[in-house]
Amino acid sequence: MEQALHAIPEPFNEKIENLVFMVEPYPSEADLGRVGLKDKFSLLGIYSGVPYTSRNTYYMNTTPDRIILFQKNIERYCRTEEELMDKIREVLIHEIAHYFGMDEDQVRAAGY
């Protein structure tokens, strides 16, 4: 994930603030419930927080937003290290798009 983070273009990277990146083996029941899924094997990543475009002067001294990638689920889609790196980058960009305020339809329409 660190390599994928370093590949984020500067105009976006410099706007990322109060955001932590995490890796967990699988999503929790709470994570699944937030996106309306029951199958813990289908969710590859999740963004949790206040999107950048929705922040205002009241957004101060808050706990960091989170992007969590689910390692075991991502690994299930990959046979090679190259495929793994590509999938991590894809999921990371997808979740960062949510951080920047894009909803699921907009993210998918953009190809992420």
Higher pLDDT, 8 or 37: 37
DSSP string, 21-87: EEEESS--HHHHHHHT---TTS--EEEES--GGG--TT--S-PPEEEEEEHHHHHHT-SSHHHHHHH
> Is the pLDDT assigned to residue 112 strictly greater than 70?
no
For 31, the token pair is 């994570």
pLDDT above 80: residue 110: no
Nearest to 5 by CA among 91, 89, 97: 89
Spatial separation of the C-alpha atoms in residues 47 and 66, rounded to whole Å: 6
pLDDT digits (tens, 9 = 90+) for 21-34: 999 999 999 999 99
Report pLDDT digits (tens) over 31-53.
999 999 999 999 999 999 999 98
Q: Return the residue matching tokens 């990371």.
A: 92
The sign of the torsion formed by the CA atoms of 60, 45, 90, 84 equals positive
Confidence of residue 67 (pLDDT cuts 50, 70, 90): very high
Amino acid present at 24: E
Confidence of residue 103 (pLDDT cuts 50, 70, 90): confident
Whether 60 has a pLDDT exceeding 90, the answer reads no
The pLDDT value recorded for residue 36 is 93
CB 111 within 8 A of CB 23: no
pTM of the model: 0.89
